[in-house]
């Protein structure tokens, strides 16, 4: 269940970014209207996830570190990519196995 919550929030964030990225410049209060309480929402979700799995905050920090800072602050979400004919996913990397045990990527 905790993995489902994290998965759905990651997916919701990606979808939100895809929908808003192009139009964000059109209205000064765009994000205030779209999501008036982002900090409260994230805090509530993290509180619930942490109750279910006290190690999840550390796992998310580790995910952020491995995805963003290894290549000099390039956050490309590459750890979310699945294996394909042309991509060898970071999810299958031996160095990511502990991370993958805590967070399931879909």
Positions marked catalytic: 66
Q: What is the pLDDT of residue 37?
A: 84
Residues annotated within the binding site for Ca(2+) are: 67, 70, 72, 76, 78, 90
Residues annotated within the binding site are: 67, 70, 72, 76, 78, 90
pTM reported for the whole predicted model: 0.47
* CA-based nearest residue to 45, from 100, 97, 8: 8
66-98 tens-digit pLDDT: 666 665 656 666 666 777 888 777 666 655 555
Q: Mean pLDDT, to the nearest integer, of 95-102? A: 56
16-25 tens-digit pLDDT: 555 555 555 5
60 falls in which pLDDT band (50, 70, 90)?
Answer: confident
């Amino acid at each position: 269940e905790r993995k489902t919550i994290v998965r759905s929030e990651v997916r919701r964030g990606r979808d939100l970014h895809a929908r808003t990225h192009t139009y964000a410049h059109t209205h000064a209060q765009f994000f205030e209207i779209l999501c008036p309480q982002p900090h409260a929402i994230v805090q509530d979700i993290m509180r619930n996830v942490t109750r279910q799995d006290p190690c999840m905050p550390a796992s998310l920090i580790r995910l952020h570190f491995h995805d963003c800072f290894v290549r000099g602050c390039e956050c490309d979400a590459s750890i979310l990519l699945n294996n394909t004919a042309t991509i060898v996913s970071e999810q299958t990397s031996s160095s990511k196995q502990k991370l993958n045990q805590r967070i399931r990527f879909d």
